[in-house]
Structure 1
Amino acid sequence: DDTPGCTREAVEFSALEKSFKRAGAVIVGVSKDSVAKHDKFKEKHGLAVTLAADESGKTVAAYGVWVEKSLYGRKYMGIDRSTFVIDQKGIVRGVWRKVKVPGHVDEVLAASKTQQ
């Protein structure tokens, strides 16, 4: 929470939350941050989307988004910004990896509309 990319993405998804709802989609952001940190982040930015805390890392590992990263030669583990569209039967219908935020929310909304 509160990194520039995460914040922008959460704000953009929140702004279109009603459009996603009309498309029959529910938005859930998942990270290893705590519930308290998510609550603070949501309040600070007026977010409408659900944020799920995966402090154990089981969900992010299962989706293959907990990866080794490198910054200035220093290696560390972190989230690979990704989006999954999952239908009502639990089938993954769309996957975006290494997401670049500009335009992403519109792309996901369009894909969500095709799942109705």
Structure 2
Amino acid sequence: DLPFTLLSDESTETIQAYDVWVEKSMYGRKYMGIERSTYLIDEKGIIIKTFQKVKATSHVEDVLKEL
């Protein structure tokens, strides 16, 4: 069990509010998708750190350094 709630955002309302719904490109094909990002949010709901355009291979270590 996780000690927090996970968000599912099928309507992209929250994704767009965080400005991470972006145009992407793969093999010359353009499409809309989520920019990989992480937000550290404190107990009061305040964003204390953002990580934009993260790399999956090193991201865990980067986040753990901030905790």
Short-chain TM bin: 0.7 to 0.9
Q: In the TM superposition, what whole-angstrom CA distance separates every residue of 1:46-86 from its partner, at most 9, and x where no partner exists?
A: xxxx6432111111111111100111221110010000101
Superposed, which structure 2 residues align to 1:12-91 within 5 Å?
26=4, 51-91=6-46
- Which structure's residues are more often strand, by fraction? 2
Structure 2 match to 1:107:
62
- Runs of 4+ in structure 1 displaced over 6 angstroms? none
Q: Give the partner amino acid of 2:51.
A: W
Shift of 1:105: 1.1
Q: Look up the match of 1:46.
A: none
Matched to 1:66, the amino acid is W
Deviation, 1:87, is 1.0
Residue ranges of structure 1 left out of the alignment (5+ in a row): 1-16, 27-49
The AA in structure 1 aligned to 2:17 is A
In structure 2, C-alpha distance between the alignment counterparts of 1:106 and 1:72, rounded to whole Å: 30
* Structure with higher RCO (Cα < 8 A, 6+ apart): 1
Normalising by structure 1, we get a TM-score of 0.50
Q: Equivalent pairs: percent with the same residue?
A: 56
